[in-house]
Amino acid sequence: MGKILTYLFPLFGLIPFLAAILHACNDAGCMDNRSSIPFAQFYQKGDLRSTISVDSLTIYGIGQKNDSLLVDSARSLSSVSLPFRNDDSITQFVLQYNYDWNKNRKSNDTLTFIYRPYVYFASVDCGVMFNYTLKEERHTRHILDSVIIVTPEITNQNIENIKLVFPAKENEE
């Protein structure tokens, strides 16, 4: 019995040590959002005060290594989060209109965002995260009228960074 205790005694000291290590590795003390993702809302040309809803819109990323589908044929979509790549300074998205917006103008638009990613130390509890400084945007104008950068500094704050402005549909004018 003495030999068994001799071998087990070091394990009894190891168990509290491992429990302390595992407890220290959790993020229970961090209550902040740790994702810095650009937030875009949809507007109609001529009225940038109130958002609009867009139907049958699919949004996906270009050149992503994994599944890049963000929105699949969404109905009544008035906003979208557009995650940037932290391993590059350019991210592109396709807006695929799954209906005829304006009489035979069924098309896609491409959004290109040029930015500077940087590491931001949030706190001891939350650690680090990537933030972004949005430098420039480019877009096609098949349907999309304009893109307005509202807040170029993209942090973990839940605020609007981008306005996507659409023309009025012909039957609504």
Q: Give the DSSP per-residue string, 96-117.
A: EE-S-SSSS---EEEEEEEEEE
pLDDT at 149: 98
| pLDDT exceeds cutoff 60 at 58 | yes
pLDDT at 74: 81
Return the domain boundaries, the chain: 39-172
pTM of structure: 0.77
When pLDDT is averaged across residues 81-91 and rounded to a whole number, the result is 94
Higher pLDDT, 99 or 159: 159
